[in-house]
Amino acid sequence: MSVLTRNEAQTRAELIEAHRYEVHLDLTKGDATFDTRTVIHFTTRTNGDTFIELKPETLRSATLDGHPLDPTTCTAGRLPLPALTAGPHELHIDAVMRYSRTGEGMHRFTDPTDGETYLYTQACMDDAQRIFPCFDQPDLKARFALTVTAPTGWTVLGNGIATEHTPGHWQFAETPTISTYLVAIAAGPYHSIRTEHRGLPFGLHCRRSLAPHLEADADELLDITRACFDRFHEKFDEPYPFDSYDQAFVPEFNAGAMENPGLVTFRDEFVYRSAVTETERQTRAMVIAHEMAHMWFGDLVTLRWWDDIWLNESFAEYMGYQTTAEATRFNDTWTDFGITRKPWGYDADQRPSTHPVAPDPELVPDTATADLNFDGISYAKGASALRQLVAWLGETDFLAGINTHFKRHKFANATLADFLDNLAAHTDRDVHAWAAAWLGTTGIDTLTPSLTETDDGFQLTVQHDGSRPHHVTIGLYDTVSLSTATAAATLHLRERFDVDIPADTPQVHAKTLTGRRPDLIVLNDGDLTYAKIRFDEHSFTTLKTGLSHLPEPLTSAVVWNALRDAVRDGELPPAAYLEAARAHLPAEPDLALVQGVLTFAATHVVDRFLPATERPAAQATLTDLCRDLIRRTEDGSHPGLRLTAVRHLISAAAQPDTIRDWFDSGSVPGGPELDPELRWRILGRLSVLGAVDDAVIEAELAQDPSATGQEGAARCRAALPDPVAKAAAWRAMFEDDTLSNYLFTATAQGFWQPEQLDLVRDYIPRYYDAALAVATRRGPAIGDAAGRWGFPAIAVSEDTLRRGRTCLERDNPSPSLRRKLVDQLDDLERALRVRDRS
């Protein structure tokens, strides 16, 4: 299949203007395929040749202005439209299309719980052409009139209000002008909860087997939806631009969610069937706000080409966190962003695959390249840059600029230059220079404090290693004794003040301090800029005893991130990070911080940065830490913290006895009861440790035959320390080609286990050829999964690194696999460096 190049898109946009699509989908043709009949109305400005994208199973017929086209000319996903004359045209296409099992195009899923079938579409980035023929580029917007034939009794959802005229025959209200990648339907026996808000229909939808869980959370979901909707109408002058707002929780979804106008689709793991923490509920709320922000950023005003992904994702990310904090009970979202999301951006920005937030268009030459930029740069770094922009510009001017942007470009397309011009109309600051420094560059600046004693006190200086301007807040903290008898102490905020650090300025004299030396200096207190921070020696000594005594969680997030960065940069031994976690997490009150620190300690420090000989002791430290947290929560006052500790203790368990007792009894002493998520988590760990066999896994699957149960069983079977089980898992991933995207991922997650390195060592050299082949056969989603989850990350060795580099240089991996391999190998090389320095 060919990809669309930027030059081709520009040429086609100069030639044609798309007006209207009439699309009929017939979903009653069996398990493998569906029918598409489409009429496309468009105009050519001059005489010329072009093409339309279509990836059919069979192209039955194509007629242009009443003249038949040869179906055999449709190759590599393109049907030529030759010798067009200036003026209006009408293209009719009748085709058979194939359902997807990988979350691309029209995905088909049969629920193992009850045998019901569900469909949904995912058209981004260039997968609309897997559903219907189209000019598949974001700047050829059009109106869409959809009709659907579906099995009787199904619900069919789309971008507009749907009407079932006769049983199984659905018609949707015609859309406003939108891009092809935003067209969406979902069809099946969905369970629906419907209401109205501000005169608009609102709906929640999920599989019938998840209905009780959706019903349990419906009030929370709808309250968050309404609150965000109202808050956006306070911020934005342009009202919500579509006729309804449905949110469908769909199975085997590759992303977190997708901003289809009027029909947002979410991965249905957000319909919680097991206990979750408040931080996880907060994340779900943020995703709801993020996708709603897209109704303006992306759907109303759309990027012209995919170099401006940040205009969609960075804004939705920033608005998602900010609006959740302003409009819902989750008022501390930026702490979670700081400890969980921001490190995603920091890590991505230090890899060879990094790119500017707003790259030069020449760096995004085609859709395959663009697809790789939905990453930590476009989301986390971009949102961080916008947060810094608001701090520097002021929220009033920022909102005035984006409202002008919406007004000038609604239902049309815009570029970075358009956005900057609209911002500049409302401020005297040089936003173009700011954008050049922040959006057009890569890498992370580093800020380091130093104190010089003077006659009047101390001179605080900030060393600036980098090129960007920064508006930062600096916090000064003093140790204050709480009890002479116990020597208990806390850190007290002495003062905060703002400092502007100009671009390309290596050193800034921040302030002259009077009085005694502060015990702790925190640069970027409040986390308003995007930069690594370091500590002076005195501050670092203070943190050894005072880290759990900081007064605000956002300050703690900044500090923990600084320690994380120091470990990754080889400046702080990984064992020291683990010691800090062991010393301070038992007293940490913020759940997001506990979850973030435990996750980094387990997945990076223990599994990758420490040599294998030190891993058992490190796991024991994690286990002891989790036991302390469990003891702390015995009174039932912190259920989320207890759940987090139980989860991590299960994952760190080196001996099966305790968790096997939990599994057999059905609960953890003192709670919680084992719900399906915890049962599968324990069974997964017991599988790794060789404490269960396939019969136990099969028995558990009989008790939980759901889709999540199927994934849990696949993960457990692949994790068994048995050569036969490993061979079967390998065949399923790389040879069989029948696994869905989710079952592929679950199998890969189970396969590579640090405790089993000797058992799977022979598979390591086989991995690269196998991943190349499956990515080529099965496409980008599986290529991504093969690189992300199928990679032998447990094999931290020069040999693994050498083989991977050879693969990149010699074998030309598909773009999605190449990107994942580049990132995995960079992480592997970093792990080797950290081990060498420890």
Round to whole Å and give the CA distance between 85 and 63: 15
Tokens of 264: 């947002």
CA distance 253 to 251: 6
The span from the CA of 459 to the CA of 450, in Å, is 8
In terms of Cα–Cα distance, which of 259, 28, 64 is closest to 154? 28
State yes or no: is 495 an active-site residue: no
Quote the DSSP letter at residue 558. Answer: H
For residues 329 and 349, give the distance between their C-alpha atoms in angstroms, rounded to a whole number: 32
Among the options 104, 269, 291, 313, which is catalytic? 291
At 320 the three-state DSSP class reads: helix
Within 10 angstroms of residue 793's Cβ, the number of other Cβ atoms is 18
Helix or strand holding residue 390 (H, E):
helix 382-393
Query: What is the Cα 546 distance to its own chain's centre?
Result: 33
- The two tokens of residue 73 are 């000319």
Q: Which residues lie closer than 8 Å to 357 by C-beta, 6 or more apart?
A: 310, 314, 377, 378, 381, 382, 385, 438, 439, 440
CB within 8 A of 613, min separation 6: which ones? none
Q: Which of 777, 808, 183 is nearest to 791 (CA)?
A: 808
Instruction: Mark out the alpha helices in 471-601 (DSSP H runs).
Output: 537-546, 553-568, 574-584, 591-600
- Residues whose CB falls within 8 Å of the CB of residue 712, separated by 6 or more in sequence, listed in order: 676, 680, 683, 684, 700, 701, 704, 746
CB 444 within 8 A of CB 384: no
How far is 170 from 149, CA to CA, in rounded Å?
A: 6
Q: Which two tokens stand for residue 313?
A: 């994702």
Q: If you write DSSP's letter for every residue of 223-264 in order, what string do you get? A: HHHHHHHHHHHHH-SSPP-SS-EEEEEETT-SSSEE--TTEE
Task: State the angle between helix axes of 707-719 and 723-731 in degrees (0 to 180), rounded to the nearest 10.
Answer: 130
Sign of CA dihedral 507, 508, 514, 519: negative
CB atoms within 10 A of CB 75: 10
Residues 6+ apart with CB under 8 A from 800: 764, 792, 828
Where do we find the tokens 């006895």?
657
| Per-residue DSSP letter, 768 | H
DSSP 42: E
Q: Residues 144-182, buried b or exposed e (16+ Cβ, 10 A)?
A: bbbbbbbeeebbbbbbbbbeeeeebebbbbebbbbbbbb
Q: Is the peptide bond before 258 cis (omega within 30 degrees of 0)?
A: no
Beta bridge partners of 507: 463
**Which residues are known to be catalytic?**
291
